[in-house]
A = this chain, B = another copy of it.
Amino acid sequence: MRDVAIIGIGVTKFGELWDKSFRQLIAEAGAKAIFDSGISGKEIDALFIGSMSAGRFVGQEHVGALVADCAGFSHMHIPATRVESACASGGVALRQGYLAVASGMNDIVVVGGVEKMTDVVESEAINILAMGLDQEWEAFFGVTFPGIYAMIATKHMHDYGTTREQLAQVAVKNHANGALNPNAQFRKAISLESVTKAPMVAYPLGMLDCSPLSDGAAAVVLCAAEKAKKYTQKPVKITGSGQASDMLPLHGRKDICTFEATVHAAKKAYNQAKVEPKDIDVAEVHDCFTIAEILAIEDLGFVKKGEGGKAIDKKITTLGGQIPVNTSGGLKAKGHPIGATGVAQIAEIVMQLRGDAAERQVKDAKIGLAHNVGASGASCAVHIMEAM
């Protein structure tokens, strides 16, 4: 397989975007990415789109064809493939695009991710998200995402002494980062107290421990690495791509405080990229809830299992720390339009490796990692990138 580079990125504003439709969002992100890359639309060989539940959120399946059409490519008749892996839909779509170029089948591919979540009432959105859990063994009985992650959080507190304040500090950090990101849904720094005193959702997770419902889209342009410099002076190479699965419901896993899908996807990505966790300069990880970021930095090997909470206290993952995590604001503050999330993570890492991240730039960032989790951890995509 040949090397693959990212030559263009585009992200919409994330938020409650009442004035923009599903198709407007993905068309906007795609147009930005294509413009950023310097390619002509005619050069695109294929599209891959990540979306969790367009069928439920906006009553639209056949998402690949829809996007090819609304982006203006229907006359080119290129393959357009929609990929779904719950909240990891974007990361898994990226991997399919990566494979299409790495295999030699395609030279230039656009990967997009999109979700329009605020056209349904909130209770319905919660039900739709719960379809990423096991419907027959979990969701049917009334458990929702916050409940699942609350169980994980209390177990982590029990097993490792992780504290309520450590969880809250994840939100404080990510909101501080989000305040620096023009596309973030929440651009407001928050205090520790505001998190710990926010209305309870599912103990120990309060309202500010949870990522929001969001509308938004993101896109990246992939190209055979050997041709990347033809388009851009700052291509970013995908050096590792890992994807893995795990038991869908929590009840059968050996340890609910470890996401084996993350462990396995990361291992594959590290091996392919020939790097170790300590080599990563900047990472976007899947913080759908504050506890999820603590699990992520453990399962990715940035810290030992059980030490995620302490790492937050030590500010290892803050901007300026040893390994800044979620400089974009993460799902927590940037927002979490499901299908867009995994692709937007890639876009953030590309900005960092290009040195284009302005106020939230990580100094001398050379190697970055993006970590995208499906639902409660039954799927995961990890990508490692390096500036070329």
Bound complex: CA A55 to CA B128 (Å): 8
A1 at the interface (CB under 8 A from B): yes
- A interface bracket (residues with beta carbon within 8 Å of B): 35 or more
Query: Which residue of the partner chain B has the closest CB to A268?
Result: B79
Copies in the complex: 2
A53 at the interface (CB under 8 A from B): yes
Within 8 A of B (CB), among A1-54: 1, 21, 23, 47, 52-53
* Contact indicator A65/B82 (Cβ below 8 Å): no
Given contacts A1-B104, A245-B73, are A85 and B64 in contact (CB under 8 A)?
yes
* Contact indicator B261/A66 (Cβ below 8 Å): no
A135 at the interface (CB under 8 A from B): yes
* Contact indicator B99/A103 (Cβ below 8 Å): yes
> Which of A322-330, A352-360, A373-381 lies on the face that meets chain B?
A373-381
* Contact indicator A69/B248 (Cβ below 8 Å): yes
Residues of B within 8 A of A61 (CB): 52-53, 56, 84, 86, 128, 131-132
- The one of B66, B75, B248 in contact with A248, judged by C-beta atoms closer than 8 angstroms, is B66
* Contact indicator A62/B80 (Cβ below 8 Å): no
Bound complex: CA A244 to CA B102 (Å): 20
Provide a sorted-by-A list of 16 A–B residue pairs whose CB atoms are within 8 angstroms: A21-B136, A60-B131, A62-B132, A62-B248, A64-B92, A65-B245, A68-B245, A69-B245, A74-B248, A77-B245, A77-B246, A78-B244, A83-B84, A84-B84, A99-B105, A103-B105
Residues of A within 8 A of B (CB): 1, 21, 23, 47, 52-53, 55-56, 58-66, 68-70, 73-75, 77-86, 92, 95-96, 99-100, 102-105, 128, 131-136, 139, 243-249, 252, 260-261, 264, 374-375, 378-379
9 pairs of A and B residues whose beta carbons are closest in the complex: A103-B103, A65-B378, A79-B243, A62-B86, A74-B247, A77-B264, A61-B131, A68-B245, A77-B244
